[in-house]
Structure 1
Amino acid sequence: MSQSPPDHTVDAARLPVMLSTLRLPSIGRHWQGFADRADREGWGAARYLAALCDHELADRDARRIGRHLAEAGLPRGKTFASFEFAAVPTIRKAHLSALGNGDAWLEQGANILCFGPSGTGKSHAAAAIGHALVEGGRRVLFTRTTDLVQKLQAARRDLALPAMLSRLDRFDCLILDDLGYASKDQAETSVLFELIAERYERRSLIVTCNQPFSEWNRIFPDAAMTVAAIDRLVHHATILEMNAESFRQRAAVSNKRAQDEMPATTINDNQNEGQT
């Protein structure tokens, strides 16, 4: 008695359900288009499957990066592309880009310290490195130091500081912006020191500060704590000196110069428009 050949047909109606159950949404959206192309171009089964998997993996990476960018809290537009390297001669684009790759120093739990007067691009440089790290698959959190200190102090009051420090461990890099504006209260700065000590040689920090180390006694009122904090931050650290004219001051001067050079009739017209 002859046997009928096995039925190799696929019930296409079941594919969306199966792919959804397997959590393969990109393959679910694109399998039919790839199948049509495979039929036209004579792909083998392995090439067809590999093309679908490549597409799924690329979309999965893009979704993960999107989630990590959303949680990072990075300021918008502060990337390498928008950084005015010509205005900060002490900073080289190749150096910042290498830091943005992140592999070597992040694996060491090393830090980046950005110093300079207000408005010289410290926060921009730190955020640009953070953007590059996230795009490279790392997890980053950008926060004003004062905001994080307040949260750490609240966690200590609730006897939850170890748990919060543990949650922060999921970030490969914390960016502490404007360390120099942190509260001078002993209790609050002590939790900042605990964060620095907890991450020492395990997880990285990027710190921006407008005060040199010689003035950090204004941040940490205890002299021993000041020395210990600096020691842990500087060990395995890259230090960026942002000694340049303030971007904001330069923009204000440029705007003033443009107004001075503007014909009087144009200035009067603009003022009249502003009054209407």
Structure 2
Amino acid sequence: MSQSRTTTRKRVPSPRPDAGAQEAVDTVIDEACRALHLPTIRSRIEEMAATAMRERSSYKDFLADLLEAECADREERRKIRLVREANFPRPKRLEDFKFEENPNVTPEMVCTLADPAWVTGRQPLCLIGDSGTGKSHLLIGIGTAIAEAGLRVRYTTTVNLVNELAEAADEKKLARTIARYGRVDLLCLDEFGYLDLDKTSAKLLFQIFTEREERGSIAIASNAPFSEWKQTFTDPRLCTAIVDRVTFNAHIIETGTDSYRLAQTQKKRKR
């Protein structure tokens, strides 16, 4: 009799899950993820639940895995957003810089600038050198590294910034525009010294430097040494004040005079 009961028990099938109840649970999870803005958990819940069951994870381990995946994806999305908002004209990364082509720039020096400590310390950066020596690549690459570290970065050329400030002044929005540039952690100013500024334009640009003084970092790429900046800023006092602000406690990298682009062109012609 006992054996018969045992056999009977073995033949009883496992209870089937209620499909309707399971769908209701899935709906609750989906709606909760939408409401709490958890897109990674929402998209990966089935996959990760199957893995947890296969590995016999505890409820806490399963929850920890879900939250860890969400946090990792959220951080990656934040990096992408900060890089996009920096408004770089093209993607450039420091690891793609050809250090062997420019002995003036060392990997150790650049790695130091990839760390955001100098930005949080509100220190300036000056990249000085002739055209084609990698200034813009370094400026964008460093700015990208800083943005991916979680800081707010903004890239612009000097001429675009001056034009934007002039338009803002005409529209009575100058204070708002200057304040917007003052809020970013790092302002990357490219092609500095490529044009001669009249007194009005120079004063507008100077307001940006004044707004950011001791509040945020500025990184400048210029094809002119400091001694030639008086050609850009015709007012000697204004020129001295700007040089003083961008060189005080600054990181200064001289990229030299040998154009990488010219060298590559010459190599192609020889082939």
TM bucket normalised to smaller? 0.7 to 0.9
- Quote the Cα distance in structure 2 between the aligned partners of 1:166 and 1:112: 21
Which of 92, 99, 105 is matched with 1:91 structurally?
A: 105
Q: Secondary structure at the match of 2:150?
A: coil
Contact 1:182–1:189, Cα closer than 8 Å, also in 2:
no
Name the count of aligned residue pairs: 250
Partner of 1:211: 224
Structure 2 stretches lacking a partner, 5+ long: 1-21
Query: 2:54 matched to 1:40?
Result: yes
1:128 Cα deviation from its structure 2 partner:
1.1
- Residue deviations 1:181-224 (CA, integer Å, cap 9, x gap): 24421111111111011101211111011111111111111111
Partner of 2:70: 56
- Quote the Cα distance in structure 1 between the aligned partners of 2:54 and 2:262: 62
Q: Secondary structure at the match of 2:193?
A: helix
Partner of 2:16: none
Rg comparison, structure with higher value:
2
Which of 134, 153, 169 is matched with 2:182 structurally?
A: 169
Pick closer, same or farther for the CA change 1:153–1:183 going to 2, 3 Å: farther
Contact 2:182–2:208, Cα closer than 8 Å, also in 1:
no
Partner of 2:36: 22
1:179 Cα deviation from its structure 2 partner:
0.6
Structure 2 counterparts to residues 117-156 of structure 1, below 5 A: 117-156=130-169
Q: What one-letter code is carried by the residue in structure 2 that aligns with 1:72?
A: A
Task: Give the TM-score normalised by the residue count of structure 1.
Answer: 0.86
- Residue deviations 1:100-132 (CA, integer Å, cap 9, x gap): 111x21112111100011111111111111121
Partner of 1:271: none
Which of 166, 171, 187 is matched with 1:158 structurally?
A: 171
Q: What one-letter code is carried by the residue in structure 2 that aligns with 1:96?
A: V
Please give the root-mean-square deviation of Cα atoms over the aligned residues, in Å. Answer: 1.7
Identity of aligned residues (%): 33
Contact 1:180–1:209, Cα closer than 8 Å, also in 2:
yes
Partner of 1:68: 82
- Quote the Cα distance in structure 1 between the aligned partners of 2:131 and 2:262: 10
Deviates more, 1:225-234 or 1:40-49: 40-49
- Residue deviations 1:135-169 (CA, integer Å, cap 9, x gap): 22222122111001110111122221221122123
Q: Secondary structure at the match of 2:183?
A: coil
Structure 1 stretches lacking a partner, 5+ long: 1-8, 259-276
- Residue deviations 1:39-96 (CA, integer Å, cap 9, x gap): 2212112111111111111111111111222222224342122211112112111210
Contact 1:115–1:212, Cα closer than 8 Å, also in 2:
yes
Deviates more, 1:10-19 or 1:239-248: 10-19
- Quote the Cα distance in structure 2 between the aligned partners of 1:18 and 1:105: 41
Partner of 2:5: none
4+ long deviations beyond 6 Å: none
- Quote the Cα distance in structure 2 between the aligned partners of 1:12 and 1:246: 60
